[in-house]
Structure 1
Amino acid sequence: MSETGFTGDGALEIVNVIGWVSYRQELDLAALRDTFETRSEITDATYKPAENHWLQTNFAPDDTYVAFYRSGKASITGVDSVAQFEDVVSRVNTVMRDLLEFDFTPESQVSNIVVTTTVNTNISLEALALELGLERVEYEPEQFPALIYRDQESDAVILVFSSGKLLCTGLADLDTISSTVSEFTARINPVT
């Protein structure tokens, strides 16, 4: 399924794309922060090693969150499409190429896409927990307002709210996400 198929009424909507880039070398995070503070492409650079072991940054123009780790990896989160993720990777690579002077294309990968959808009806979470089997679900309404379903075939995690809202996480391929959510909604349809 194309990314554009994830918008519209009742369809899947991407709410977060998470991924990483690898620079194949150890990073001096304090020095990187000092350099980032002088770059207009970066709207914020925070490194407090006593609190976090990573450098927290935001890249302009949309303040996308990018965390840099001493291992040479950077994680990107908070974008709402794979195309936007690739654009951010390109912008980050441009800045890092200036600083590290590497002559390779850094490896990057989407590691998780979070989507939501609605099934247009209220759901009895108690009945759904019994229908899906207690070995596949977690449902403790006094601690969390959603049923948590773990799909054994795809390794997806689907949160089901009584309002009919679903949130799917744990997958990185749009086609797999689409088929997993479609199969799940078809399975729960008789329960709703």
Structure 2
Amino acid sequence: MAEFEIANVVGMVAYQQEFDLSALAETFEQRPEINSVTYEPAENHWLQTRFAPDDTYVPFYRNGKCSIAGATSPEHFEKIVRQVNTLMRELLEFDYEPTAEIKNIVATAELDSLPSLEAIAIGLGLEQTEYEPEQFPALIYRGEDAVILIFASGKIVCTGLTDLDLISSAIDEITDQIETLAVS
């Protein structure tokens, strides 16, 4: 099983009502569980907040949704969801359970060694890879469900999946393919 670190867990929470972002911004400014509040409707159509204690980014949208970015694990995501829902339930006085869903987990891993990114692009197949070093410093591999960035330093970034076992499998698969290319 591949060793990887979670860099970011991103998800959404959906409430069954629209938000008055201006009123929420005023209320949020008085709340100790929120570190910062930014609402500038001329520049952005969302209300930006950071929740204590770890400064997790939670933007709120007029359509009654908020996203959570910067969670360090699925468990941390769920903890932030509970924290946001507790606050919103107190402010909006609803009795339903809002829908929360992880949309993406970004994970990183390290390769011990690798051939050149050009060789990897050819070996993995040009129809599944993009490598334009003048545009972006990593090779982009588009697998069945995941997108994997491979940097010349040996760092791998896996994105597009929401399940830790699938992330591990995707990283194992790409690592095995790269090791096979290095041997041949």
The runs of 5 or more residues in structure 1 that have no matched partner are: none
TM-score by length of 2: 0.96
Amino acid at match of 2:179: N
Distance in 2 (alpha carbons) for counterparts of 1:23 and 1:45: 20
Amino acid at match of 2:167: I
Cα displacement (A) at 1:163: 1.5
Per mean C-alpha deviation after superposition, the further-off stretch among 106-115 and 176-185 is 176-185
Percent identical among aligned pairs is: 60
Distance in 2 (alpha carbons) for counterparts of 1:134 and 1:14: 28
Asked if 1:84 is matched to 2:76, the reply is yes
Q: Which residue of 2 aligns with 1:102?
A: 94
Q: What is the RMSD of the two structures over their aligned residues, measured on CA atoms? A: 1.2
Q: Which residue of 1 aligns with 2:176?
A: 186
TM-score by length of 1: 0.92
Q: In the alignment, is the contact (CA less than 8 A) between 1:33 and 1:46 conserved in 2?
A: yes
Residue-by-residue CA offset, 1:56-92 (whole Å, 9 max, x unaligned): 0000111110010011010000111111100000000
Q: Which residue of 2 aligns with 1:33?
A: 25
Cα displacement (A) at 1:144: 1.1
Q: How many residues align?
A: 182
Distance in 1 (alpha carbons) for counterparts of 2:91 and 2:39: 18
- Picking from 127, 131, 135, the partner of 1:135 is 127
Where 1:190 maps in the other structure, the secondary structure is: helix
Per mean C-alpha deviation after superposition, the further-off stretch among 18-27 and 118-127 is 118-127
Distance in 2 (alpha carbons) for counterparts of 1:179 and 1:58: 33
Asked if 1:173 is matched to 2:156, the reply is no
4+ residue segments displaced more than 3 Å: none
Q: In the alignment, is the contact (CA less than 8 A) between 2:9 and 2:73 conserved in 1?
A: yes
